[in-house]
Amino acid sequence: MTIQTLTNDDALWLPLADFADACSWPAGPVMAKQMRANAFLEWERVFAAVEDGRFAGFCNFTAHDCLPDEPYTPYIGYVFVDEAFRGQRISEQMIQAVLAYAKTLGHDKVYLVSDHVGLYEKYGFVKIDEVPAPWDAARMESIFVHAT
């Protein structure tokens, strides 16, 4: 398993957008649309987990995530691992790659938004806030932080 750091000029950029678009998670097509529109700042990246030429998962590292008007930045977002590859700690590998990259940019903290309980805590994230989901005010989203 390799974790590749991608920008819009990488050969895997559009194939990964296709993979995200077709994945089982409803947020995947949203990230795919952002990728196809090149809606990323110069320092922002997409990370892909690749095994034997197949995509196993993806995430991104961006200034903002899905929550409007939050004071936190930067974020790990769109963490997804394909069902065939789950249980191999691929999320952790991608997160570690993002944290290492964030550190090279001088970030001492990285944030993550999720409604999962107990998943990101095992990777060293600490819950610092909770806000209503912008797409469903009845659902709460947690904001987590991790030191680089």
pLDDT confidence of residue 85: 98
- Asked if residues 122 and 116 have their Cβ atoms less than 8 Å apart, the reply is no
Q: Can you read off the two tokens belonging to residue 14?
A: 């559009």
Domains (ranges, CATH) in the chain? 2-147 (3.40.630.30)
- pLDDT bracket for residue 40 (50, 70, 90): very high
pLDDT one-digit tens code per residue, 43-87? 999 999 999 999 999 999 999 998 878 899 999 999 999 999 999
pLDDT exceeding 90 applies to what percent of the chain? 86
| pLDDT given for residue 43 in this prediction | 98
Alpha-carbon distance values, 20 to 31, 47, 51, 78, 117 (Å) = 7, 12, 16, 10, 23
pLDDT on residue 63: 96
Q: Distance between CA atoms of 104 and 55, rounded to whole angstroms?
A: 25
